[in-house]
């Protein structure tokens, strides 16, 4: 087990100007489950591959524990790429399927057996060790494959979208298993996904990347409640946060027919006459006609307890998409007009030009 | 090297932004209307539309299937007839199907041996409107063999080393064009006979990614994966009693490292020598030709005094011998087959037309040697081996016969003897269908019987064991023609 540090780590692909990963500074604690998340091309997989030794590091360095591994070959880094391959061998017992890589690594019989037993216990496979993989269910086979990585006792687990080829149901199930397993093992884990829901449900902390730059690294709660910039605000959360560019006026921002007090400290810090106001769908409340902004419901998605209105509003003669969460008992119908306003204190203010968070 | 190296030319919607990966939002069709299929294909075969896409693969009716499914796979895979060929259909997620389709297309474009992608079909629904997983369709590679089909009782050590050498060559070729495989294994490779050796083809590109060039970390990791997977596959065969006992899985799997490194160094390594040793430039090029590569570009640098020369091949292209053969005869075959046929062709010229143009004597060889042999293969034996492989074997057979009988055995007599004693007793290899996508799990069911685990296919048009008897000159259970120690089959008498 070990800490992992990216220290100004940079990767520039030959023939490109913009770094795929740009001066990444990231410290991952011993035993932490850290998720790298971001849209396609953000540099999350490249970062993971740099840690794995699959990408050259053009500047900066990467540490595992106290060891600078920047120029260490992948197999000597004491890491395990999980789910790289979960082929199981039909003639070998479950125990051999889990332990064969240890044999290749020259580890003695007794130690192999011990490590396999320990892993099997964690994975609830003790009773199957002497069986052939054929006798296992699909889920058990997947656990055997995980066992293969576990028995190696690596310092760090690396996982690059390991669930992407599972169907939705198995994906939810497996992500819970992975998260709880790695925590029980206490092995530092770096996990890459493009799915922010996966990131938020699994990570102790989540690092959000865009265009090769680290945007924010925080606990899921903090990312949700306190996004550092407009990108993180829009990326984290499902359905996404509403982001509207609104004029700053005396006493707040002009929110349709209402002046909304978005916090003087934040508004004073704004560079221009407008700010970008972020409001999560659940932080909008319905108000009487004429107050706040009017939203026309284009689609209403009923989820039982709640309903989501997917609609649009007009700000400065421009149409903006709006998502509003309302109670599930009596949601408006498609085509209805509702009036909304942020609940007191539940907004995020960003500089319209820089996109950075203003105020707390 | 290829168009993929150097300045990357991404013709497909791959993603420069996220190296090696297909962007999630690229190339996706508009949202599917329920009940309407979306087919992505280079050239749509209308027959594709006749397949029962509204049924989950697992339940496809037998009449569509070219072979029954075997074993358990990560994904459901079925083989079906499409026009005159056999296709493999794999149910998977849309993103993976598209990723693999585009990667395979790019590999095809740069002529790296791999299976041919046919289509991605999404928007599948049952008549009840239930959504079905998208599928990737690839064309089955005729006369290709999964490694487990290369032996019927036990895998021989020398066969194994040839397989591993073929795998190493494939890996080098993939790495040269910037392809990181991520899951190198014998199971993810198909093999075609190649004049006594094997030619390896990539089958599963699910984990593959294409880059402008690979870092040494990527190459080393691929090699490490290969080493571990091959060792695992061999340990499994050993456990199942399917491999000669004296084969050491670890030592054998190490071979891929050595074989790969030797080849990689020869193809890409820098060489420095004194100015007086310029012949070494030609020697290097000749060595590369002998390995089957052409040097399309190399760099030569001299030091400031001009006394030392540094040579490094920059662009090497596989297919040296096949290119020469295709230029002379139009025959498109694999490396070793080409080498073998060219050898015969050159001897034919030396013997009969030493003063004629190479092209003219090649034409004569084609008419008087190659074509008569191919024409002599009865229709019912046509599925046994590829024509070029048959010609190779006939030429070899002739040499052995001539040596044994101490006379020049005429071609017609050789062909008859070969057909009767060798070819007739081989199994059909035109379409041996083990599930190419599965890891070794896919033979679970077949192996349960214990005694005939390997290459018995699961139905038509798959292979069959020879009905009876053992041919005089070749053991059908072995993958090699009988060896005659101390002889050199390359120089067959006319």
Label residue B293 by pLDDT band (50, 70, 90).
confident
Calculate helix-pair angle for A44-52, B216-239, nearest 10 degrees: 70
Q: Looking at the DSSP assignment, which residues form a beta bridge with residue A314?
A: A319
Question: CA of B239: which chain A residue's CA is closest?
Answer: A91
B23 contact residues in A (CB cutoff 8 A): 40-41
pLDDT over 90 (residue A59): yes
Nearest CA among A329, A330, A326, A328 for reference residue A340? A326
Label residue A55 by pLDDT band (50, 70, 90).
very high
DSSP state of B20: B
DSSP letters for B258-326: HHHHHHHHHHH--EEEEGGGTHHHHHHHHHHHHTTEEEEEEEEEE-TTS-EEEEEEEEEEE-HHHHHHH
pLDDT value at position B20? 57
B439 contact residues in A (CB cutoff 8 A): 85-88
The residue-averaged pLDDT of B230-258 equals 89
Report the relative pairing of strands A21-28 and B77-82 from DSSP bridges: unpaired
User: Do residues B70 and B442 lie in contact, with contact meaning Cβ atoms separated by under 8 Å?
Assistant: yes
Instruction: Check whether the bond before B461 is cis (ω within 30° of 0).
Output: yes
Nearest CA among B439, B332, B430, B342 for reference residue B386? B430
pLDDT value at position B4? 42
pLDDT value at position A253? 94
Structure tokens at B313: 């091949």
Nearest CA among B233, B238, B192, B187 for reference residue B74? B187
Q: Which positions in chain A have a beta carbon within 8 angstroms of at least one beta carbon in chain B?
A: 13-16, 20, 40-43, 45-46, 49, 52-56, 73-75, 84-92, 96, 100-101, 103-104, 132-134, 164-165, 167, 194
The residue-averaged pLDDT of B243-268 equals 91
3-state class of A314 per DSSP? strand
pLDDT over 90 (residue A220): yes
- Give the range with max mean pLDDT: A26-30, B34-38, B144-148: A26-30
DSSP letters for A46-100: HHHHHHHTSS---EEEEEETTEE-TTS-GGGS-EEETTS-----TTS-HHHHHHH
**How far are the Cα atoms of B85, B416, B424 from residue B400, in angstroms, in the given order?**
36, 14, 18
Percent of chain B with pLDDT over 90: 32
Interchain proximity B217–A20, CB inside 8 Å: no
Structure tokens at A184: 């029980």
Report the alpha-carbon distance of residue A252 to residue B345 in Å, rounded. 90
Nearest CA among A331, A335, A353, A251 for reference residue A299? A335
DSSP state of B472: S
pLDDT over 80 (residue A341): yes
Interchain proximity A84–B7, CB inside 8 Å: no
pLDDT value at position B142? 84
User: Do residues B154 and B243 lie in contact, with contact meaning Cβ atoms separated by under 8 Å?
Assistant: yes
Label residue B168 by pLDDT band (50, 70, 90).
very high
Report the alpha-carbon distance of residue B321 to residue B290 in Å, rounded. 9
Percent of chain B with pLDDT over 70: 78
Interchain proximity A165–B92, CB inside 8 Å: yes
Interchain proximity A86–B74, CB inside 8 Å: yes
pLDDT value at position A281? 97
Q: What is the pLDDT of residues B45-73, one digit of tens each?
A: 788 888 999 999 988 888 888 865 454 45
pLDDT over 80 (residue B480): no
Find the CB nearest B239 among A88, A91, A194: A91
pLDDT value at position B430? 77
pLDDT value at position B427? 81
Residues in contact with B150: Cβ distance below 8 Å, sequence separation at least 6, in sequence order: B159, B163, B191, B454, B455, B479
pLDDT value at position B73? 54
Calculate helix-pair angle for B216-239, B249-268, nearest 10 degrees: 150
Report the alpha-carbon distance of residue A93 to residue A103 in Å, rounded. 14
3-state class of B199 per DSSP? strand
Report the alpha-carbon distance of residue A164 to residue A173 in Å, rounded. 13
pLDDT value at position B240? 85
pLDDT value at position B74? 65
Phi, psi of A35 (to 5 degrees): -105, 130
Report the alpha-carbon distance of residue A222 to residue A139 in Å, rounded. 33
- Average pLDDT over chain A reads 91
Percent of chain A with pLDDT over 90: 71
Label residue B458 by pLDDT band (50, 70, 90).
very low
pLDDT over 50 (residue A319): yes
pLDDT value at position B493? 39
Label residue B297 by pLDDT band (50, 70, 90).
confident
Report the alpha-carbon distance of residue A340 to residue A244 in Å, rounded. 13
Mutation target vs B (from A18, A37, A89; most B CBs, 10 A cutoff): A89
- Give the range with max mean pLDDT: A149-163, A203-217, B24-38, B464-478: A203-217
Q: Match 């998720």 to its residue by tokens.
A: A35
Mutation target vs A (from B4, B8, B17, B237; most A CBs, 10 A cutoff): B17
Interchain proximity B227–A91, CB inside 8 Å: no
pLDDT over 60 (residue B162): yes
Question: CA of A162: which chain B residue's CA is closest?
Answer: B207
Query: What value of ipTM does the predicted structure carry?
Result: 0.80
Nearest CA among B403, B415, B417, B419 for reference residue B485? B403
> For residues B449 and A19, which has the higher predicted lDDT (pLDDT)?
A19
The residue-averaged pLDDT of B365-381 equals 91
Report the alpha-carbon distance of residue A95 to residue A115 in Å, rounded. 10
Label residue B471 by pLDDT band (50, 70, 90).
very low
pLDDT over 80 (residue B96): yes
Find the CB nearest B225 among A41, A85, A164: A85
Question: CA of B25: which chain A residue's CA is closest?
Answer: A40
pLDDT value at position A85? 55
The residue-averaged pLDDT of B457-486 equals 35
Report the relative pairing of strands B116-122 and A242-249 from DSSP bridges: unpaired
Structure tokens at A263: 């916090």
Q: What is the pLDDT of residues B98-131, one digit of tens each?
A: 999 999 999 999 989 999 999 999 999 998 888 8
Q: Looking at the DSSP assignment, which residues form a beta bridge with residue A193?
A: A37
Of A140-149, A314-323, B169-178, B215-224, the poorest mean pLDDT is in A140-149
Label residue A1 by pLDDT band (50, 70, 90).
low
Phi, psi of B43 (to 5 degrees): -140, 110
The residue-averaged pLDDT of B284-307 equals 85
The residue-averaged pLDDT of B408-421 equals 92
B25 contact residues in A (CB cutoff 8 A): 40
B237 contact residues in A (CB cutoff 8 A): 91
pLDDT over 80 (residue B472): no
Find the CB nearest A75 among B183, B224, B447: B224
Neighbours of A328 (CB within 10 A): 13
Q: What is the pLDDT of residues A126-181, one digit of tens each?
A: 999 999 988 888 778 878 888 888 898 899 999 988 877 677 777 788 888 888 88
DSSP state of B21: S
Residues in contact with B334: Cβ distance below 8 Å, sequence separation at least 6, in sequence order: B192, B194, B195, B199, B322, B388
Interchain proximity A54–B441, CB inside 8 Å: no
pLDDT over 90 (residue A356): yes
Torsion from C-alpha of B34, B36, B41, B42, nearest 10 degrees: -130
Radius of gyration of chain A (CA): 25
pLDDT value at position B151? 66
Find the CB nearest B17 among A41, A55, A104: A41
pLDDT over 70 (residue A216): yes
Residues in contact with B310: Cβ distance below 8 Å, sequence separation at least 6, in sequence order: B270, B271, B272, B299, B300, B301, B302, B303
The residue-averaged pLDDT of B156-176 equals 91
Residues in contact with B26: Cβ distance below 8 Å, sequence separation at least 6, in sequence order: B13, B14, B15
3-state class of B167 per DSSP? helix
Phi, psi of B303 (to 5 degrees): -80, 175
Sign of torsion over alpha carbons A102, A103, A105, A107: positive
Q: What is the pLDDT of residues A223-258, one digit of tens each?
A: 999 999 999 999 999 999 999 999 999 989 999 989
CA of A106 to nearest chain B CA: how many angstroms apart? 10
Interchain proximity B220–A15, CB inside 8 Å: no
Report the relative pairing of strands A205-210 and A33-37 from DSSP bridges: parallel
Interchain proximity A56–B235, CB inside 8 Å: no
Instruction: Check whether the bond before A239 is cis (ω within 30° of 0).
Output: yes
User: Do residues B54 and B124 lie in contact, with contact meaning Cβ atoms separated by under 8 Å?
Assistant: yes
Question: CA of B445: which chain A residue's CA is closest?
Answer: A134
CA of B10 to nearest chain A CA: how many angstroms apart? 13
pLDDT over 60 (residue A190): yes
Q: What is the pLDDT of residues B204-241, one digit of tens each?
A: 898 899 988 899 999 999 999 999 999 999 999 888 88
Question: Which contiguous run of DSSP H or E holds residue A215?
Answer: strand A213-218
CA of B435 to nearest chain A CA: how many angstroms apart? 13
Give a three-class secondary structure readout of B38-90: EEEECCCCHHHHHCCCCCCHHHCCHHHEEECCCCCCCCCEEEEEECCEEEEEE
How many helices (H) and strands (E) chain A has is answered by 9, 20
Report the alpha-carbon distance of residue A171 to residue B410 in Å, rounded. 66
- Average pLDDT over chain B reads 78
Interchain proximity A75–B221, CB inside 8 Å: yes
The residue-averaged pLDDT of B352-363 equals 88
Nearest CA among B154, B229, B227, B152 for reference residue B188? B229
CA of B252 to nearest chain A CA: how many angstroms apart? 12
Interchain proximity B207–A85, CB inside 8 Å: yes
Nearest CA among B269, B253, B252, B178 for reference residue B219? B178
Question: CA of B241: which chain A residue's CA is closest?
Answer: A91
The residue-averaged pLDDT of B42-46 equals 76
Report the alpha-carbon distance of residue B123 to residue B133 in Å, rounded. 8
Find the CB nearest B217 among A20, A73, A103: A73
Residues in contact with A306: Cβ distance below 8 Å, sequence separation at least 6, in sequence order: A325, A326, A327, A328
pLDDT value at position B207? 87
Alpha-helical (H) ranges within B110-215 are 157-176
pLDDT value at position A164? 74
pLDDT over 90 (residue B365): yes
Structure tokens at B179: 């392809």
How many helices (H) and strands (E) chain B has is answered by 12, 14
pTM for this entry? 0.79
A165 contact residues in B (CB cutoff 8 A): 74-75, 92-93, 96, 206
A92 contact residues in B (CB cutoff 8 A): 235-236, 239
Phi, psi of B126 (to 5 degrees): -80, 165
> For residues A166 and B334, which has the higher predicted lDDT (pLDDT)?
B334
pLDDT value at position A274? 94
Mutation target vs A (from B221, B249, B438; most A CBs, 10 A cutoff): B221
């Amino acid at each position: 087990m070990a800490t992992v540090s990216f220290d100004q780590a940079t990767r520039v692909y030959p023939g490109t100007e913009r770094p795929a990963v740009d001066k990444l500074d990231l410290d991952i604690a011993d035993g932490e489950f850290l998720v790298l998340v971001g849209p396609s091309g953000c540099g999350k997989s490249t970062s993971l591959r740099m840690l794995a030794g699959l990408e050259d590091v053009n500047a900066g360095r990467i540490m595992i524990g106290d060891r600078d591994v920047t120029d260490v070959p992948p197999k000597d880094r004491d890491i395990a790429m999980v789910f790289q391959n979960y082929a199981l061998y039909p003639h070998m017992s479950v125990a051999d399927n889990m332990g064969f890589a240890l044999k290749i690594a020259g580890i003695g019989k007794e130690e192999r057996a011990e490590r396999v037993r320990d892993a099997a216990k964690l994975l609830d496979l003790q009773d199957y060790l002497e069986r052939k993989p054929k006798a296992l269910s699909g889920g058990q086979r997947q656990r055997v494959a995980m066992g293969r990585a576990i028995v190696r006792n690596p310092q760090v687990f690396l996982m690059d979208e390991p669930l992407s080829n599972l169907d939705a149901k198995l994906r939810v199930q497996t992500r819970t298993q992975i998260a709880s397993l790695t925590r029980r093992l206490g092995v530092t884990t770096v996990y890459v996904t493009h799915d922010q829901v996966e990131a938020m449900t699994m990570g102790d902390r989540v690092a959000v990347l865009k265009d090769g730059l680290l945007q924010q690294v925080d606990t899921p709660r903090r990312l949700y409640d306190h996004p550092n910039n407009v990108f993180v605000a829009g990326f984290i959360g499902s359905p996404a946060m509403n982001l509207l560019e609104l004029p700053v006026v005396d006493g707040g921002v002009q929110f349709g027919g209402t002046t909304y007090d978005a916090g003087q400290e934040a508004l004073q810090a704004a560079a221009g006459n407008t700010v970008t106001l972020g409001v999560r769908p659940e932080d909008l409340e319905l108000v009487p006609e004429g107050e706040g902004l009017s939203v026309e419901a284009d689609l209403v998605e009923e989820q039982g307890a709640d309903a989501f209105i997917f609609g649009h509003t007009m700000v400065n003669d421009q149409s903006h998409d709006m998502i509003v969460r309302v109670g599930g008992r009596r949601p408006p119908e498609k085509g209805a007009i509702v009036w909304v306003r942020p609940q007191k204190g539940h907004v995020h203010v960003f500089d319209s030009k820089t996109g950075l968070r203003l105020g707390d | 090297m290829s168009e993929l190296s150097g300045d990357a030319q991404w013709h497909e919607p791959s993603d420069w932004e996220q190296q090696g990966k297909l962007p999630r939002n690229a190339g996706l069709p508009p949202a599917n209307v329920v009940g309407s299929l979306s087919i992505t294909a280079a050239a749509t075969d209308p027959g594709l539309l006749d397949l029962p896409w509204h049924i989950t693969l697992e339940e496809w009716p037998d009449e569509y299937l070219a072979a029954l499914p075997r074993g358990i796979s990560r994904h459901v895979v079925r083989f079906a007839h499409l026009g005159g060929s056999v296709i493999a259909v794999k149910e998977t997620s849309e993103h993976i199907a598209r990723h693999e389709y585009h990667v395979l297309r790019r590999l095809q474009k740069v002529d790296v041996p791999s299976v041919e992608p046919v289509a991605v079909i999404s928007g599948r629904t049952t008549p009840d409107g239930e959504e079905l997983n998208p599928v990737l369709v690839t064309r089955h590679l005729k006369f290709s063999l999964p490694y487990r089909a290369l032996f019927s009782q036990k895998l021989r050590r020398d066969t194994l080393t040839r397989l591993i050498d073929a795998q190493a060559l494939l890996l080098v070729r993939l790495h040269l064009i910037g392809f990181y495989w991520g899951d190198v294994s014998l199971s993810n490779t198909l093999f075609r006979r190649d004049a006594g050796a094997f030619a390896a083809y990539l089958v599963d590109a699910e984990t593959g990614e294409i880059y402008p060039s690979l870092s040494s970390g990527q190459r080393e990791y691929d090699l490490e994966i290969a080493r571990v997977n091959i060792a695992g596959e061999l340990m499994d065969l050993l456990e199942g009693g399917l491999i000669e006992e004296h084969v050491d899985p670890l030592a054998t799997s190490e071979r891929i490292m050595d074989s790969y490194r030797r080849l990689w160094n020869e193809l890409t390594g820098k060489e420095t020598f004194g100015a007086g040793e310029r012949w070494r430039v030609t020697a290097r090029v000749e060595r590369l030709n002998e390995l089957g590569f052409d040097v399309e570009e190399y760099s030569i640098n001299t030091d400031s005094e001009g006394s030392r020369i540094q040579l490094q091949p920059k662009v090497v292209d596989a297919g040296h011998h096949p290119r020469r053969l295709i230029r002379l005869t139009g025959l498109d075959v694999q490396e070793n087959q080409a080498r073998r046929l060219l050898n015969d062709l050159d001897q034919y010229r030396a013997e009969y037309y030493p003063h004629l143009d190479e092209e003219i004597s090649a034409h004569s060889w084609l008419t008087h040697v190659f074509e008569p042999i191919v024409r002599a293969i009865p229709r019912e034996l046509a599925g046994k081996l590829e024509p070029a492989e048959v010609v190779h074997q006939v030429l070899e057979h002739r040499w052995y016969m001539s040596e044994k009988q101490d006379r020049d055995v005429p071609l017609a007599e050789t062909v008859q003897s070969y057909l009767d004693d060798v070819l007739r007793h081989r199994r059909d290899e035109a379409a041996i269908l083990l599930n190419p996508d599965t890891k070794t799990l896919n033979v679970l069911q077949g192996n349960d019987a214990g005694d005939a685990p390997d290459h018995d296919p699961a139905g038509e048009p798959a292979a069959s064991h020879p009905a009876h008897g053992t041919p005089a000159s070749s053991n059908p259970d072995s993958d090699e023609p009988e060896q005659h120690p101390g002889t050199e089959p390359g120089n067959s008498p006319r």
